[in-house]
Amino acid sequence: MHGEEGRVKLLLIHPGASWATADVEAGLRYGLELHGVEVIRYRLDTRLIRSARWLHANWRLARKTNPNIQKPNDADMVYHAGEGALAMALRHQVDAVIVVSAMLLHPDVIILMKRAGLRVFVLFTESPYDMEQEAKIAPIVDGCWTNERTVLEDFRKLNPNVRYLPHAYHPQRHRPDLEVADVAAHDVVFVGSGFHERAKWFNAVDWTGIDLGLYGSWDDVGLSPALADRVMADAIDNAAAAGVYRRAKIGLNLYRRSKGWGKHAPQIHTAESLNPRAYEFAACGVFHLSDYRPEVEEVFGDLVPVFTTPDDASFLIRKWLSDDVGRARIAAQLPACVAESSWVQRAACVIGDVRSTLGLDRNVTAMAV
């Protein structure tokens, strides 16, 4: 082990996306560093942008003497952006590499890392929606974690070192007492990507007289013109999203079902685990409504009212908008439900699993927070 006095040194590879999974990387990095891990960060997001520019600039230059040269494709850009992670891991002599998501990291990079003797782990964040791609990565790494408990056995057929790691919240960003200036206040708020089934659901709810704030990318998913006018921002970072949550009377948690993009994308059949939004609402002390997943009831009991249809949601929204006292009473109890579910706790699990796989002492001393 290369860290001084037993300190673990890890290369943490960014997922490449600018939102959602980037928040997972930020939270995990915070937790790892809080526990004393030395984290070397590989910014795949910025490298993807630079690689695209570099490859296309060189392609345009090469076309002047070779008009038939093939244009760089997405795989070329992904590989070029990720190949530097191998050199960085070797240069810093890290104990292991942790990849967040791996959806935008070329598998050849992981294969080369393994050939170089590096230990590689992946935190899968897109289960069960992108299981097909995750299943190609799981067999070639030393260990992995999945965010969805129903697919754990499927992963175990591919890699014996797999664990269920629930989503989490960032304790510095998701708190009841942290105010964010210059964010709008809504009756009901939803922050998330626009999938066709979500647009269909929103179109079916009666929003008359209700100030709905929609955030995220909702272009070309079938949202009604009236609701399209309510889309507040195409992208919003986690800190601003937390501020919008805290200023809303009701947060809305609508789970994704599409396995991909497009009107005819296949749908998942089952899922049980909470998404990040559920933890973030609760940590911020935000009263919210949710469609059903088993963990909603297991974690929150009856503190999170659950709907199954748009009509159910319409009734619950109007019922709770008229009950300020009831919403405040429930909101005050929600942070306690997730008190042990921040990235501080999740990072401790990650460290323990990595140390165990590496054959190191599993004792981890957590800093007081």
Q: DSSP states of 17-85 as a string? A: -SSTHHHHHHHHHHHHHHTT-EEEEE-HHHHHHHHHHHHHHHHHHHHTT-TTPPPP-HHHHHHHHHTHH
Going from N- to C-terminal start, the domains of the chain cover 4-168+342-358, 188-337
Q: What is the pLDDT of residue 236?
A: 79
Task: Say what the alpha-carbon torsion angle 143, 148, 150, 155 is, to the nearest 10 degrees.
Answer: -20
The candidate with the shortest Cα–Cα distance to 328, out of 286, 284, 282, is 286
Q: With b meaning 16 or more CB within 10 Å and e meaning fewer, what string describes 315-330?
A: ebbeebbeeeeebeeb
Q: Kindly tell me the burial class for residue 71, based on how many C-beta atoms sit within 10 Å of its own C-beta (0-12, 13-18, 19 or more).
A: exposed
Q: What is the pLDDT of residue 361?
A: 61
Q: Given 3.40.190.80, 3.30.565.10, 3.40.50.2000, 3.40.50.12160, which CATH number is that of 4-168+342-358?
A: 3.40.50.2000
The first and second tokens of residue 290, run together, are 């949710």
Q: Cα separations (Å) of 135 from 132, 151, 164, 182, 270? A: 5, 10, 15, 42, 17
CATH class in words for 188-337: alpha beta
Interatomic CA distance for residues 9 and 40, integer angstroms: 7
Q: Cα separations (Å) of 178 from 33, 55, 245? A: 22, 43, 11
Question: Within a 10 A sphere around the Cβ of 369, how many other Cβ atoms?
Answer: 10
Question: Within a 10 A sphere around the Cβ of 25, how many other Cβ atoms?
Answer: 25
Q: What is the pLDDT of residue 178?
A: 81
Interatomic CA distance for residues 300 and 297, integer angstroms: 5
Domain 4-168+342-358 shares a fold with domain 188-337: yes
Q: What is the pLDDT of residue 6?
A: 66
Interatomic CA distance for residues 101 and 17, integer angstroms: 10
Q: What is the pLDDT of residue 103?
A: 95
Q: What is the pLDDT of residue 5?
A: 53
Query: Can you list the residues of the chain whose pLDDT is less than 70?
Result: 1-6, 180-181, 234, 361-369
* Single pTM value for the model: 0.92
| Interaxial angle between packed helices 107-115 and 74-82, expressed in degrees from 0 to 180 and rounded to the nearest 10 | 30
